[in-house]
A and B are shown apart, each in its own frame.
Chain A
Amino acid sequence: AQTVTQSQPEMSVQEAETVTLSCTYDTSESDYYLFWYKQPPSRQMILVIRQEAYKQQNATENRFSVNFQKAAKSFSLKISDSQLGDAAMYFCAYRSARNGATNKLIFGTGTLLAVQP
C-alpha cells in the first residue's frame, strides 16, 4: 500500500521569503502522480502543483516549484516570495497511474504554513 508522509506539522515564513515543505512517499509502483494541495481556512481545497513521475523535470507554477527526487521518493514544495495569502494547510498527495487506476488520492497529514508580515 502507498503511504505519504509530511514530517513538518507546522512551518512559518516571513512575507517575501522562501519556504520549503517536505513530503516523502512510499510506493512499489513506477507510474504515479504527485500533487500539492492547499486548504485555506475557508476549507476549499485547491490544487497548487502536480508532478508526473515519468517526468524528470521538476514542475513549476509561478512562485511554486517542486523538487522531485524519484529514487529517494521525495517531493518537496518550494514557495518563493511568500505572500500572506499563502497561509494555509498544505497537503501532499499521491495517485496511482497504473492501468485501471482510479482517482483515489492518498494524502499526507498536512503542513500548516503561517506567513508573518
Chain B
Amino acid sequence: KAGVTQTPRYLIKTRGQQVTLSCSPISGHRSVSWYQQTPGQGLQFLFEYFSETQRNKGNFPGRFSGRQFSNSRSEMNVSTLELGDSALYLCASSFFSGTLTSYEQYFGPGTRLTVT
C-alpha cells in the first residue's frame, strides 16, 4: 500500500507570494492533518480535515487555509508569505470512520518551504 505522499518536496518562494502544498493520504484514509515544523516552535498543528470538512484548526493566522477533496486528497495554502513561514510542512493521514477507531497517524515526508 502506498504511503502518504506530499508534493512538492521542496519549494522556494519570495515574501508576499502565495503557495499551495498537496497531500495524498493512504488509500482508504479519510482524515488528513497538517503540521508545521520549525526549529523555534517545534511541531504545531495547523488543521484537520475529514470528509471534506475541517474538523479542527490550530492557532495560525487566516493566511493559512486548507481544503479536502472528495478523494480525500488535501491541499493547504499560505497567502502573503512571510519569512517566518519557512518550515517543514507535514501531512498525516489516518483511518477514521466517524468514531475514533484508529490510533495511528501516518506521516508523509513533508514539504520543505523556504521563504526568501
User: B55 to A43, Cβ gap below 8 A?
Assistant: no
Distance to closest chain A CB from B113 (angstroms): 13
CB contact list, B59-110 vs A, under 8 A: 88, 90, 92, 94, 96, 100, 103-105, 107-110
Q: In the complex, what distance in Å separates the CA atom of A35 from the CA atom of B103?
A: 9
Q: In the complex, what distance in Å separates the CA atom of A20 from the CA atom of B50?
A: 36
> Please, how many residues of chain A have a CB less than 8 angstroms from a CB on the other chain?
23
Q: In the complex, what distance in Å separates the CA atom of A72 from the CA atom of B45?
A: 26
Q: How large is the interface on B (under 10, 10 to 19, 20 to 34, 35 or more residues)?
A: 20 to 34
Distance to closest chain B CB from A106 (angstroms): 7
Q: Which residue of B lies closest to A52 (CB)?
A: B103
Inter-chain pairs besides A45-B107, A103-B96, 19 sampled, C-beta below 8 Å: A42-B109, A43-B109, A43-B110, A44-B107, A44-B108, A44-B109, A45-B92, A47-B105, A50-B104, A97-B100, A103-B105, A104-B58, A105-B33, A105-B35, A105-B43, A105-B92, A107-B43, A108-B42, A110-B42
Q: Is B56 an interface residue (CB 8 A)?
A: yes
Q: Is A84 an interface residue (CB 8 A)?
A: no
Q: Is A83 an interface residue (CB 8 A)?
A: no
User: B48 to A104, Cβ gap below 8 A?
Assistant: yes
**Interface residue ranges, B against A (CB under 8 Å):** 31, 33, 35, 42-45, 48, 55-56, 58, 88, 90, 92, 94, 96, 100, 103-105, 107-110
Q: Is the interface of B mostly helix, strand, loop or mixed?
A: strand
User: A43 to B88, Cβ gap below 8 A?
Assistant: yes
Q: List 7 A-B contacts (CB under 8 A).
A: A43-B88, A52-B103, A101-B100, A103-B55, A105-B45, A105-B92, A106-B45
Q: Is A91 an interface residue (CB 8 A)?
A: yes
Contact A104 to B109, CB < 8 A, known contacts A50-B103, A110-B42:
no
User: A109 to B48, Cβ gap below 8 A?
Assistant: no
Q: In the complex, what distance in Å separates the CA atom of A50 from the CA atom of B100?
A: 15
* A residues in contact with B109, CB < 8 Å: 42-44
Q: In the complex, what distance in Å separates the CA atom of A43 from the CA atom of B43?
A: 13
Other-chain residue from B35, B43, B90, B104 in contact with A47 (beta carbon distance below 8 A) = B104
Q: In the complex, what distance in Å separates the CA atom of A50 from the CA atom of B44?
A: 20
